Amino acid sequence: MAGEYLIYTGIFVIIIGFIIIAISIIINTMKEYEKEEHNYYKTPDYQDQHHSENYNKPRTDVKGGGVVMIGPIPLVFGSDNQSLQKLMILAIILMLLGFAFTFVYSL
């Protein structure tokens, strides 16, 4: 009984994931058409790049990372230590949840 429930739940989650991906692709494609047209044949001048308003502005850094679970084994990657620490905690929680579900439903 519990095994059938898990199988149907897994199939449902996979289908929902495909639907979300398809919707996001459609939305991003529509956003591209709404943007103004760019002249792809124009080459930027050297002086235009270094004398523009944005040249002397400070850069903003993007921080992030991810966890890829291959069975019970997590692969954690990130751009800085703070992101890695948070993702390692998440990976440990996911591992414990995976083991808990395995032991509960194997009884």
Structure tokens at 9: 């739940």
pLDDT at 2: 77
pLDDT at 21: 93
Give residue for tokens 């494609």: 29
CB 99 within 8 A of CB 76: no
Residue 7 DSSP class: H
pLDDT at 86: 92
Query: What is the residue extent of each domain of the chain?
Result: 1-35, 64-107
pLDDT at 3: 82
**Residue-by-residue pLDDT tens, the chain, 107 positions:** 778 888 999 999 999 999 999 999 888 888 776 665 555 555 555 555 555 565 566 767 778 899 998 888 899 998 889 989 999 999 999 999 988 988 888 87
pLDDT at 62: 78
Q: Which residue type sits at 12?
A: F
**pTM for this model (two decimals):** 0.45
pLDDT at 71: 83
Q: How far apart are CA 66 and CA 107, in angstroms?
A: 32
Bridge partners of residue 68, in order along the sequence: 75
pLDDT at 72: 82
